[in-house]
Amino acid sequence: MKQQQFLEVLDRDEAERRWREVISVVPGVSESVFLEHALGRVLAEDVRAPVDVPGFDRSNMDGFAIQAPDTFGASEEEPVRLRLNSETIPTGIAPQEEVTPGTATQIATGGMLPRGADAVVPVEQTDIDDADSQVLIVRQARTPGAAVSYAGTDMGRGETILFAGTRLTSRETGLLAAVGCSEVALVRRPRVAILSTGDEIVQPGAAMRPGLVYDSNGRILADAVREVGGDPWFLGSFGDDLDLLRPALQKALAGADLVLLSGGTSKGEGDLNAAAVGELDPGVVVHGVALKPGKPICLAASAQRPVVILPGFPTSAIFTFHEFVAPVIRSMSGQGETDRPVVQARLAQKVVSDRGRLEYLLVGLVHPGGDGSTQNLAAYPMGKGSGSVTSFSRADGFVRIARNRELVDDGETVDVTLMGREIPVSDLVVIGSHCAGLDVIASALAAEGLKVKLLAVGSQGGLGAAARGECDLAPIHLLDPESGEYNAPFLPDGLRLLRGYGRMQGVVTREDDDRSLEALLADDALRMVNRNRGAGTRILIDALLGDRRPPGYGYEPRSHYAVAAAIVQGRADWGVTIETVARETNLRFRPLRAERYDFAVPEDRWERPAVRRLRALLEAGSPVRATLATRGFPEN
């Protein structure tokens, strides 16, 4: 009996329980794979050493093979003398001559210990007798076994060296090579079919027009499948047409162990994925889960084969992939279902959440000490847009906010699930206002091999981070209305001001609109685009408007480029941004105020190597200064 489709929003655990009841996650059969192709794969069975490693008694250094008792009592003051045998033992050659009492044989590192020898004396503790070149002078006593690895001490023949379920890294493949394995039995990787859907989707490289979006989901899902142990099979993108979707879905089911579709999960008229999947048996078992982002996910099955329709927005798609699909792929590939470490951090900014849905909050992690320690981490929210590709790509992890929480206060300790196996360590942590000029500086630092982490939280948020020692510098452009001075009046004790550059803020409209600011404000049919609270530009806008609140005042994007895009695309008619961005986006620019974009630096970070290098890059007459000037960011 086929399941009926309803957009019934279920609790996350209940949704997973219902889905797991109708799918199979049994690991695939094993296959023999050449060792050079085994990296990242999972062992299907235990591996036992077919040989001893080392396979013979081996010298661990360049020196002389001896019988240890011959050297007892030897010292610098009272060395012993041994007769040199005629043989020299290189690596890869079996010795022919026995070491008898009172004799020694020269041997290379890795050479096979000759019969009779039980120790090696290093060459630097010996000399050749000047009077007789066949006499070795030994100045150090040796014990039996000194500088020798006996056969089988690393791995003995028949010893289990790797267990089934181990995912092979370079360490394990090296171990397998050391025992002579050229092929290994691995769990077959589950084949995962991926279909991107929607009339608005075009593949990267294709022609673009307004209203269309490039297919980032196809790429990110294919690589995410590969990362967790699956074999991705991208079938392409398909429009909202059942006659196209049905045969594509059948092809996927015929050739894959699991099928992923992205987009088309809600009840919109153009979303037909659920209709196509609903024709399967048992079809859709869950349509809607109390998640944010990711609410419209659709969990289904064909026979016992998992089928999932992921939301179209990239962040929603990848979160729901990792929440529901990744554990299934790991199980099918012979791994454990969980693979991501969790660390604790202090939330740096207050977060308001929607009650009733489990929310995933992307965060960037910083080390207050700047030393890479995982103690006292600070977690900075990265924005909450389900369509944000950049937020996801730059985040270090995410916080799960329980569905009964409406507020998580700043300073509260939270569990952060890491995106990777460990927290990336940066040479320079920058928290504060973002600017295109900052990208020029960061690019110059990156070209020198320095890793830079940028977190855009606004000028005031950056000052707070610098005061708490959570960053190396905070870019700021804060105007003191009383003195008319930028930045310096806002610095608390413990922070120093590093001079940045100037830039011009102004009112922008589309090129064909030449009205003055007063004319723009007087027309209620026009909409403005504001900036986020805490940004230096927002302070300028509020000072400009006074008590006026024109239409669009609540529209608060977080960057100058976002302001420009809103006007170019017709979502707003005017806003405030910097001259450089206006020029790049072909907007009409009306200068308002020249401002300073400077850097607040904690005193104890001033001499850090990356900060010193930044200061050097910003010296007068430097190439970076010249580049900034050509981009519209003069020194004065």
pLDDT in the model for residue 313:
87
User: Residue 249 in contact with residue 259, Cβ under 8 Å?
Assistant: yes
d(CA 40, CA 18): 31
Using only C-alpha atoms, what is the Rg of the chain?
33
The CA-atom distances, in angstroms, between 635 and each of 55, 168, 358, 501, 502 are: 68, 53, 47, 5, 6
| pLDDT < 50 positions in the chain | 1-6, 267, 269-270
| Residue 18, both tokens | 């219902």
Other beta carbons less than 10 A from residue 341's beta carbon:
14
Which uninterrupted H or E stretch holds 630? helix 623-630
The pTM for the full model equals 0.75
Question: Maximum distance among all alpha carbons in the chain?
Answer: 109
Which amino acid, one-letter code, is at 461? G
d(CA 516, CA 468): 43
DSSP letter string, 133-162: TTEEEE-S---TTTTEE-TTSSB-TT-EEE
Other beta carbons less than 10 A from residue 240's beta carbon:
19
d(CA 148, CA 112): 10
* Phi/psi of residue 421, nearest 5 degrees: -80, -25
Strands (E), 480-609: 495-510, 528-529, 574-578, 587-602
Instruction: Report which DSSP code applies to 446.
Output: H
Q: Which domains does the chain have, with CATH numbers?
A: 12-27+189-332 (3.40.980.10), 30-53+154-187 (3.90.105.10), 58-149 (2.170.190.11), 342-418 (2.40.340.10), 426-636 (3.40.190.290)
Query: Which candidate, 440, 434, 498, 433, places its Cα nearest to that of 631?
Result: 440
| Residue 456, both tokens | 């855009």
